[in-house]
Structure 1
Amino acid sequence: MRIGTATVNQTPLDWKGNTHNIIEAIREAKQNNVELLCLPELCITGYGCEDLFLSNWLYERALEELLKIIPECKGLLVAIGLPIKFQKQNYNCACLINNAEIVGFYAKQNMALDGVHYEPRWFIPWQSGRISQLKINGSDYEIGDITYDYKNWKIGFEICEDAWRQDRPACRLVERGVNLILNPSASHFAFGKTEDRQKLIINSSIDFKCTYVYSNLLGNEAGRMIYDGEMMIAQNGRHIQRNSLLSFKNTNFLYADVEPDKILHTRNDIAKSNKNEEFAQAASLALFDYLRKSRSKGFTLSLSGGADSSTIAILVSEMVRRGIQELGLEEFKKKSGLELQTSSKSIDTSSKEICSQLLSCAYQGTKNSSTDTLNSAKELADEIGAKFYHWTIDEEVGSYTSKIEKALGRKLSWETDDIALQNIQARSRSPIIWMMANIKNNLLLTTSNRSEGDVGYATMDGDTSGSISPIAAVDKYFIIHWLKWAEKELGYSSLRHVNSLAPSAELRPLEQTQTDEADLMPYHIIVEIERLAIREHNSPIEVYTKLKAKELESADLLKAHIAKFYRLWSRNQWKRERIAPSFHLDDFNVDPRTWCRFPILSKGFEEELEELNKVS
C-alpha cells in the first residue's frame, strides 16, 4: 500500500486557511496515488486554541469544516485531527475517513500535562477499550478506541502523548493484531527533540511489529509554540521515509510503498541534530509566521551592538534568506502579505533588499556607550541590509534625572544611586523605539535572554519592552557561542566585532569597564545552576553537592554564586511574569505562562541558603 503523511501550518480560528491546507495535502496525496494519508493532531482547529476548547461553538464549527473536507477524500483513506464534543465532554480525536465516508473517531487516551502542555484543562482522556456511538446528521459512527481492517492491514491509533507513556495504547493494539499504527501529533519543537522522536518511532515499529506512521504540525501556530513538521514512516526498525524539518511551506507531504509485516534486517541510524542550525531554522520560521499571522509590516529593533540584539538581527536576516531559498522570491513576497519590492533575483541581493523593508534598527547611545558597540551595530545592519538609525538619549536621561533630583533635593550619584541611574538609561530608550515601531506598524523585538530572566538582569520597560521576545528561551552562554558559529558557518563577517567584545550593558561610566559577568557571575556557571535548580527542581544544597563534584570553581565561590542565583531568582519572579511572548526553543524555559511557575512572593530560600553556608 502506498502510505502518505502530511504536515500543515495552521492558525487558530483560520477556518478557511486551515481547511485549504488540509485539502491541498489530500489532493497532493491523490495525485501521487496514495491510498492512506495521516494528517496531524487537531489540524482542523489548530492545537493552540487554548480556552476556546472550553466552548461549544468551536466543536460545532470544527465538525462543519470536517464535513467540507470529507468529499475531497474520494478514493482515499484519511486520518484528520479535530476536537469532538460527545455526551457534553470534550475529546481530542482523529477522524478516519474511507472513500469520502466516515469510518469512526479515535479518541486520545492520555493527556499531556508537563512543561508547556495543559491538555487536561480542555480534554477528557478516553478509556482504553471503550467504544461508543456518536450521532452526526442522523447517522451513527463509532467513537473511542477504534481499529479498522483495510485490505491486509489492521489499523490502530495513538495520538501524540499516547505514544510517550509506558502503558500506551500500542501495548494493547499489538494484542489485537494491529500492524499499522497512525500517530497524528502536535509535538512542540525543542532542541534535539527530533532524536527522541526518531527513537520512539523506530522502537515502536520493532516493539509492536508494525508499520508506524507519524505526522506532526508545522510552524509557529499561535505565538509561542513552534512545530517542526516532522513526518516519519517506519517499519520493523527502519525509517522508510523521513522529511527535512521546519519548512516555510504551508503543506509538506511524503509517501512510501509498504508491504504489511515485511521483515527488514537492518536498522537506520538516528539523524543527529545540530543545536546551532536548529536555532537558526526554528527561530527564523517562528519570526516569519509571527510576522504574517499578526499582520504586521515588519520588525523594529534597538540594536546595541551587543550579543543579544545582534543575534536577533541575524535571525531576521536568516528568516528572509531561508524563506526565499525554500519558497522562491515571489512566493516569499506573496506569503508575507506585504508589498515588498526587489530589483534583483539573486538570493543575496534580494534578501538585503527585503531586509531593508522588514527590519529597522536603531543604536540609541549615551555618554556611557562605546564606539566599539556603535561600529558593531552599524556594520551588522549594513551587512544584512537593515535600515539603520543612530541617535543619543542623554538629553532624555538628563531630563528625567534632573526632575528626580529637584524632587528629592539632592544630586544623584553612582555611589548611592547606581541601579536607578542604570535603569533610567534603558527605560529612556523604550518610548522612542516604541514610537518608531508604532509609526511603521512593526513588531518591537525585545532582547532579553533566559539567563537574564533567571536573575532579573533586565530593566522592566527597558530592554524587556516590546511585542515579542525571540531569544527569551535560550541562555546567554549559548548565544555567545552561537554568534561565533554564525560568523563562521553562516558567513556574517560583521559579527567579528560583537564576538570580540565582553558582554556589557554599557550603563555605567566607561571608566568602570562594566561587564555582565562581573555584575552577575560567569555565564557558564549560571547555565549549570539553572539546569539543576530550575529544570530539575533541586534545592541549593543539592545543586552545590552536584556542582562541587564537577570542580567548576572553588567551593566558596560556587556557594556564593548559588546563593546569589537563588536570591535573584526569588525576588525577580514579577519580572518573568511580564516577559513579552517568547518562542519555546529549549527543553524548558522560565516563562510562567508556559513552563515554569513560581510564587511572586516567597521567603526566597532563606533557610535553605543558611543551611548551604554550613555545608563543607
Structure 2
Amino acid sequence: MIICNGDILACGSQFSLDEVEVVTATIDLEDVRSFRSSPSRGLQSQHAQKYPRINLDVRLSKRVEDHDYQLQGQSEPIDLKYHAPEEEIALGGACWLWDYLRRCRAAGFFIPLSGGIDSCATSVMVFSMCRLVVSAIQEGNEQVLQDARRIAAEADESTWVPETPQELMNRIFCTTYMGSKNSSSDTRRRAKDLARDLGAYHVDIDIDTVTTAIVNVFFSWSNWMPRFKSAGGSFAENLALQNIQARSRMVLAYLFAQLLPTFRGRRGGGSLLVLGSANVDEALRGYLTKYDCSSADVNPIGGISKTDLKRFIDFARTSFDLPILSTFLSAVPTAELEPITSSYIQSDEADMGITYAELSTFGRLRKNDKLGPWGAYSKLLSTWGSQKSKQNPNDQAVSPRQIAEKTKFFFTKYAINRHKMTVLTPSLHMEQYSPDDNRFDLRPFLYPGFDWAYAKIDRDVERREKGESGRQKAKVEDDLD
C-alpha cells in the first residue's frame, strides 16, 4: 500500500497471478510536513530540535510555467477492499494451487469425487483457479499463458488459448467417482453433474472387486468372513470393512492419476497431483481413516473448517454461476461405507458423536484460545449455556452436564487420534484454527489422559445440579486441587 497521513492512496491486489506488481501514487510532501506539525502536536514540535531547511534547484513536480512549479495529478484517497472469508478461500486457494502446479510441473490435478461437500469444495477451488488463469490470459499475461500451455501439454500449439475455465479444466483436472455396493445413486449423480458443470474429465468406476479381493485374502487364511454390524458383525469387523474401502480408493486414486494423462494421449508423460479433501474439523476429531483418500499430494481444504467450506460453496453457487452446488449444501454428509438398510443410513455427524458446528467451536477454543478441557468447558458455560447465543450452534440453552459431556468427548477423541495428525497431507493454511503438527503446532502429538481436568468438570456439574449445598463441598475439593 501507499499511505499518506493515514489515507490509502494506492493498494496492490491481494491475490494475483502476476509475477511482479508495481503500485504507484503521487503525493505532496508538503502535506506530510503539515500533518506532522499540526496543532495537536504543536507543543511537541515547539520543543523539538530545529533543523535548517536548504532550498535546492531540484523539483519532483512538473514545470507548468517558467516561474512556477505545481504538483500534477495528485492521487486521491481510495477505499480499501476487504475480502470476505469465502472470497479468500476462493482466491487464496486458487493462487496457491496454480503456483504449486506450475512449479512442480505436473500435468494437472486428480480428485476422488465422492458426491459430498468436501471433495466438491476442493473441486470448486480448482475451478476458481482456472477462472483466475483464464482472466489473466485475457488481460494479456503472457507468462500465465505459457504456463497454461505447458501444463495442458499444448506447448507446440502456439495458437491455443483457453476461452473458458471449463476448457482449461477439461485438460488439467480429472475426477473419479469410486462407487461401491454401499454407495447411493444420489451421490453418484451429484458427482457426475458437478464434474460436467465444472468441465472436468470424469470417470465412474466401482471398487467392489478390489475390496472383495482384499477381504478374500484374509478369508483364505482364516476361513472366517468379517461382517458389517447390520449383518451381526462386531465393531472391529464393521470398522475394518469400512477402512478397506477407504484405503482402496487411495491406491486407485494414485493409479488413475499416473495413467490418465497417458491414456488421454497427453504429451510429456507427466502424472496428475492427487488432491485430498479432509477438512480441519475431521482432522481434529480424528474422523478419517489413516492413509485413505484423505492421503494425497496436497490438500487445499485441510486447514478450513466445515462451516467455512459451506459458506464458500454458497458464495461460489452464485458468484461462479454453479446452481448444482445447491444440492451439495442440502445433502446430509455421509461416508457411505456401510450398507444402507430400511432402518439405517450412515451419517457423518451420527458417527462422530458431535456436529460439525460444535467441532468448529471446539477447534477454535483448542487452537486459537489454547484452552484445555476445563478452560473450554468454562468458556462454553457462558456461550452455549445461554439461549440464543451467537456462538451456540444448537441455538438453544445447553445444560452444564451436556456441555461437560461434549467437552470430554471431544478432548478424548482429540487425544487418542493425535497419531493421525502427524501424517496429514500438506495443506493450505489460511486460518488460525488450522492445526498442523508437522509444521507449526509444536505441542507433543501424544497426550496423557485428561483425568484431572475431567474430574474438575464433573465436580462443577455436580455442584451446579445440587445447588448451594453442593457448592461448598465442591469448593473445598477445588481448593485441595
TM-score by length of 1: 0.59
Pair 1:510-2:324 in alignment: no
Which residues in structure 2 correspond to 1:33-52 (within 5 Å)? none
Q: Which residue of 1 aligns with 2:90?
A: 280
1:359 to 149, 166, 173: 173
Pair 1:578-2:388 in alignment: no
Shift of 1:346: 7.5
Which residues in structure 2 correspond to 1:467-546 (within 5 Å)? 467-511=297-341, 512-520=344-352, 521-546=354-379
1:267-320 deviations in whole A, cap 9, x for unaligned?
A: 876543311111100001100000000111101110001011111111111111
- The letter for the 2-side match of 1:318 is S
Q: Which residue of 1 aligns with 2:105?
A: 295
Q: Which residue of 2 aligns with 1:314?
A: 124
Q: 1:377 to 1:284 in 2, by over 3 A?
A: same
Query: For 1:533 and 1:243, how far apart are their aligned partners in 2?
Result: 35
With a CA cutoff of 8 Å and minimum separation of 6, indicate the structure with the bigger relative contact order. Answer: 2
The 8 Å contact of residues 118 and 279 in structure 2, kept in 1 or not, is answered as yes
2:256 to 433, 436, 439: 436
Q: Which residue of 1 aligns with 2:446?
A: 601
1:511-538 deviations in whole A, cap 9, x for unaligned?
A: 2211111122111111111111222111
Query: For 1:589 and 1:238, how far apart are their aligned partners in 2?
Result: 34
More moved, 235-244 vs 287-296: 235-244
Query: For 1:601 and 1:333, how far apart are their aligned partners in 2?
Result: 47
Query: For 1:299 and 1:467, how far apart are their aligned partners in 2?
Result: 10
Q: 1:304 to 1:342 in 2, by over 3 A?
A: farther
Which residues in structure 2 correspond to 1:313-392 (within 5 Å)? 313-328=123-138, 331=142, 332-336=144-148, 337-338=150-151, 339-340=153-154, 347=163, 350-392=164-206
- The letter for the 2-side match of 1:435 is L
- The letter for the 2-side match of 1:452 is E
Pair 1:460-2:460 in alignment: no
- Which protein is richer in strand relative to its size? 1
Q: Which residue of 1 aligns with 2:238?
A: 418
Q: 1:530 to 1:381 in 2, by over 3 A?
A: same
Q: Which residue of 2 aligns with 1:404?
A: 218
Shift of 1:393: 0.6
Query: For 2:432 and 2:188, how far apart are their aligned partners in 1?
Result: 35
Shift of 1:371: 0.8
Identity %: 26
What secondary structure, in the 3-state scheme, does the structure 1 residue paired with 2:278 have? Answer: coil
More moved, 326-335 vs 464-473: 326-335
The 8 Å contact of residues 541 and 611 in structure 1, kept in 2 or not, is answered as yes
Pair 1:427-2:247 in alignment: yes
Shift of 1:344: 8.6
Q: Which residue of 2 aligns with 1:242?
A: 11
1:220-239 deviations in whole A, cap 9, x for unaligned?
A: xxxxxxxxxxxx11122111
What secondary structure, in the 3-state scheme, does the structure 2 residue paired with 1:388 have? Answer: strand
Which residues in structure 2 correspond to 1:113-128 (within 5 Å)? none
Query: For 1:385 and 1:312, how far apart are their aligned partners in 2?
Result: 14
The 8 Å contact of residues 257 and 273 in structure 2, kept in 1 or not, is answered as yes
Query: For 2:79 and 2:110, how far apart are their aligned partners in 1?
Result: 43
Q: 1:491 to 1:263 in 2, by over 3 A?
A: farther
Which residues in structure 2 correspond to 1:128-277 (within 5 Å)? 232-260=1-29, 261-263=32-34, 271-277=81-87
What secondary structure, in the 3-state scheme, does the structure 2 residue paired with 1:390 have? Answer: strand
Shift of 1:414: 2.3
1:190-212 deviations in whole A, cap 9, x for unaligned?
A: xxxxxxxxxxxxxxxxxxxxxxx
- Which protein is richer in helix relative to its size? 2
The 8 Å contact of residues 303 and 427 in structure 2, kept in 1 or not, is answered as yes
Query: For 1:568 and 1:418, how far apart are their aligned partners in 2?
Result: 19
Q: Which runs of 5+ in 1 are unaligned?
A: 1-231
Number of residue pairs the alignment of both structures matches: 383
Please say which structure displays the higher CA radius of gyration.
Answer: 2
Q: 1:556 to 1:488 in 2, by over 3 A?
A: farther
What secondary structure, in the 3-state scheme, does the structure 2 residue paired with 1:399 have? Answer: helix
Query: For 1:400 and 1:557, how far apart are their aligned partners in 2?
Result: 42
More moved, 416-425 vs 590-599: 590-599
Q: 1:560 to 1:254 in 2, by over 3 A?
A: same
Give me the CA root mean square deviation. 2.3
1:364-390 deviations in whole A, cap 9, x for unaligned?
A: 001111111111100010011100000
Query: For 1:475 and 1:342, how far apart are their aligned partners in 2?
Result: 42
- The letter for the 1-side match of 2:130 is V
- The letter for the 2-side match of 1:251 is V
Query: For 1:595 and 1:561, how far apart are their aligned partners in 2?
Result: 27
